[in-house]
Amino acid sequence: MAIPKNVLRLGFCALLPLTALAGDATSFSALMPYPQELIRHQATGEFLLSRDSTLCFHQSPGARLQAAENRFRQRTERQTGISLPAAARCHDPEMAKRISVIELALTSDGAPPKTNALSALGHEHEAYQLEINPHKITLSAAYEEGILHGLHSLSQLLGIEKNDDIALQPMTINDQPQFRWRGLMLDSVRHFLPVDTIKRQLDGMAAAKLNVFHWHLTDDQGWRFESRSYPKLHQTAANGNFYSREQIREIVAYAFERGIVVVPEIDMPGHASAIAVAYPRLMSAPGPYSPEDRWGVHKPLLNPANPEVYTFAEKILGEVAELFPFEYVHIGGDEVNSEHWQSNPEIQDFMQARQLTDSHALHNYFNTRLAEILAKLDRKMIGWDETLHPGLVPSAAVQSWRGPDALGEIARAGHFGILSTGFYLDQPQYTSYHYRNRIIPEPLDFPAIETDEQWQRWQFSAPRKRGSPVSGTFMVESTEGHLRGVMSFTGKTPQALHNIERIGPYTVFTLDTWMGPLRARLLLQDKTLGGEFVVGNAPYHPTGERLAGSQKESAVPDFANSQLPLTDTEKSKILGGEAALWAEMVHENNIDLRLWPRTFAVAERLWSGNSLQDEDALYQRMNAIDHWAATAVGLQHHTQQLATLKKLFPENLQSHALALSAVLEPAHYYHRHHEKSANETYSRRDPLNRFVDSLPVESAALQPLRRFAENLPEDPQAVIDLEPMQAGLQHLWRAGVAAETVLQQRDGLPAEVRKLAELTQQQMELGFLITARWQDGVPFSPDEDSSIREQLNAMKGMHGEVVLPAVYVLERFMDRLQYSAPRTDKPGAKNKMENQHG
């Protein structure tokens, strides 16, 4: 099925980019991932789904299609109240009497693809066509996977309105995925996930058209895979939790029914503390070893010089191949601390005898042995970035957590590559950041600097509470008032800066980094650097100095060869991407809250490609998907939030707790991890039942206000639609009122909740004060400005691992008000809520 990319056909002649309809407030906006092609017909009438409608199969369905049809009917009843009868055969004479029929048709004449092979993923194997006319809906596909995907699209079109009949406009959808590997990794090691919890996430994956479940089963903190050959592995697992062979088969079958393959990850040679506890004789250092419940990178490594290690690998991987039919097995291979290898004389002799020059060569030797074992089992190896070494077996695929540079290296080396950087969902981030993530690495487009242009190059270092500082350099260049720039983080290729401005004494810019979205607000004075990098929604405070500039006799920076574009052949090696949910801060009671609905945005990037870029439309459609996912699919992101709040607040404060939560966020990126590392145990002993654990990743209530502030025009006379700002202020006001009620009944509430309520009130008051003056266009006096900024600065950062995101928005209003040219008229009417607040 040949499908044009990047277009949506409206009627029979209009040809529009996909973004043109993405923000349309119709049922089409609820489709996510958005289809490659949608043709809206101008036929008279609509298809009416009612209790008199029915489904039918053109051919005798297999067990998987029968189960999918049954799930579709169940979803339809949950979301619309309409109960449909079980599907019949379309050639049944009774079908001719039906007013409205949904036909399901398989069109392939050939043999079905081998379902345990990479070739069965993506493109034509998952394509489908959905045709809706006033009398009939026809869903057709060459293979079963296409029917599964098409049923979810049809379910989304039905919406969640409960009526006697549901009207659908005539249209044709031609759809297939842009990338074949569209995955989600769940970590069952750090916090064990019950079988029902995993099944629910598989339901969510299927709804989002994701097709690879990467199951992280072993790590330092435990071994969750039942082994017959080495039973101490799961018997010594933390809390005694592991998956039996029967449970694993159950989950693999459940995934297959929904068009999802399962890739198990069995970590070797590192992340091996659980192996060390059970079988210390396999390790590179003598121990003793104790069960590990701390997070982070630990030292135990399997001993590549010990023949028994390869016997262990053969038996374990044989058990894995028996239970997991997909052709790829993930061996981890990441974060190998070579200290135990270097200090072991036996291993050093082993390396010398085989002319292995360093630990990287030894690691590659070990990986080669694993690949050989897997090949005998008719399996292929996949590992993280660190497995990429010269000589890696050609059949091995590599998953990148290091970013576009590493993904480019993987493709140039001739290996299949999968991107996870930018899709780490355990690092809370704004959904728009994940949505901007590009799968294919792109070279830097930065025209050369001319010798007469003004530029400065700065060095920076931003300390973190855990790990090394974030360091690097950046350059800002000015030509006739136009600013452009480049930032180079240590060890990474340069990136172009975006939205560069000079606002008063500050230099401001943004860019997306491996840490998340970064917004710099820097004081570049004389030769020193200060200010802040807001990474996600919490700040780092860099220091630095000027290295060079056009006023000195310095070489002009040249970024022309910093990145090489990939060839078409190399691009074809990039299979797609995979969202990752590591479980240091995730367990069964908040996993849905962390994953949904934002995983739909990642799924859309992987399914639809880069054609959709409208972030405002993204949020509008995600809001519709949010409710559909909870109602039709049964995802529990709303109920999990309510359950946590119920444990923290008395019943009479539940609604106030929700209003308060609406304007707060958990600290993004790894800010929470670093905070726990500095102040707690940074382990499974740290509780995940606090107020911060009840918060959605992103404040949906403040999203329009944040987007509004990000796009404030420099021109003070520009005409501005104030509705997003007014909506945000209304939520701030509601949260402030709720905070007041909470504080009136503060006894028995956690201290962090009381503090957040006080800060929320202060945030509300500053919000109305600042935005009212911004609308009037009258700057504050120097003393007022100093006082307000002092209050804003005190509210920044983490408060019990919680962030008040509106603080940074209000600071932008302050900067624009205080440092822009004065207005001669007002941009719009003041928010009505201002008078209610008084």
What are the residue numbers of the active site? 219, 271, 335
CA 168 to CA 154: how far, in whole Å?
A: 10
Residues forming beta bridges with residue 534, ordered by sequence position: 519, 539
- Is the torsion defined by CA of 676, 678, 679, 682 positive or negative? positive
Instruction: Determine the Cα–Cα distance for residues 410 and 421; give it in Å rounded to an integer.
Output: 14
825 vs 823: CA distance, rounded Å: 5
- Tell me the helices (H) and strands (E) count for the chain, helix number first: 26, 33
Angstrom distance (rounded) from CA 442 to CA 394: 24
CA distance 186 to 547: 44
Neighbours of 490 (CB within 10 A): 11
Looking up tokens 């008719």 gives: 378
Contacts of 379 (CB under 8 A, 6+ apart): 317, 321, 327, 328, 329
d(C-alpha 171, C-alpha 9), whole Å: 10
Q: What is the 8-class DSSP label of residue 748?
A: T
Distances (CA, A) of 324 to 218, 224, 248, 262, 396: 15, 15, 8, 7, 17
Separation CA 390–CA 236 (nearest Å): 37
Q: Distance between CA 389 and CA 343 in Å, rounded?
A: 23
Q: Which of 344-366 are b and which e, b meaning 16 or more Cβ less than 10 Å from the residue's Cβ?
A: beebeebbeeeebeebebbbbbb
Coil, strand or helix: which one is 732?
helix
HSE (side-chain half, CA atoms, 13 Å) at 141:
24
In 3D, which of 148, 104, 391 has the Cα closest to residue 258? 148
Beginning with the edge strand found earlier in the chain, give each strand of the sheet holding 54-57 in spatial order. Answer: 14-17, 7-10, 37-40, 171-175, 128-132, 136-141, 101-106, 54-57, 88-89
| Strand ranges, E, within 448-592 | 454-462, 470-479, 482-489, 495-496, 498-503, 506-513, 516-525, 528-535, 538-540, 543-549, 574-581
In sequence order, what are the residues at sequence separation of 6 or more whose Cβ sits closer than 8 angstroms to the Cβ of residue 196? none
Query: What letters, b where the CB count within 10 A reaches 16 and e where it falls short, cover 192-211?
Result: bbeeebbebbbbbbbbbbbb
Give the residue from 527, 525, 529 showing the smallest Cα distance to 544: 529
> What are the beta bridge partners of residue 546?
458
**DSSP tag of 382:** E
Would you say 425 and 602 are in contact if contact means Cβ atoms under 8 Å apart? yes
Q: Coil, strand or helix: which one is 324?
A: coil
Q: What does the alpha-carbon distance between residue 269 and residue 219 come to, in Å, rounded to a whole number?
A: 10
Paired with 508 in beta bridges are 501, 521
Where do the DSSP E strands lie in 133-236? 136-141, 165-168, 171-175, 181-187, 212-216, 218-219, 222-223
**Is there a contact between 760 and 664 (Cβ–Cβ < 8 Å)?**
yes
Distant-in-sequence, close-in-space partners of 454: CB < 8 Å, separation ≥ 6:
477, 478, 479, 550
DSSP structural state of residue 345: H
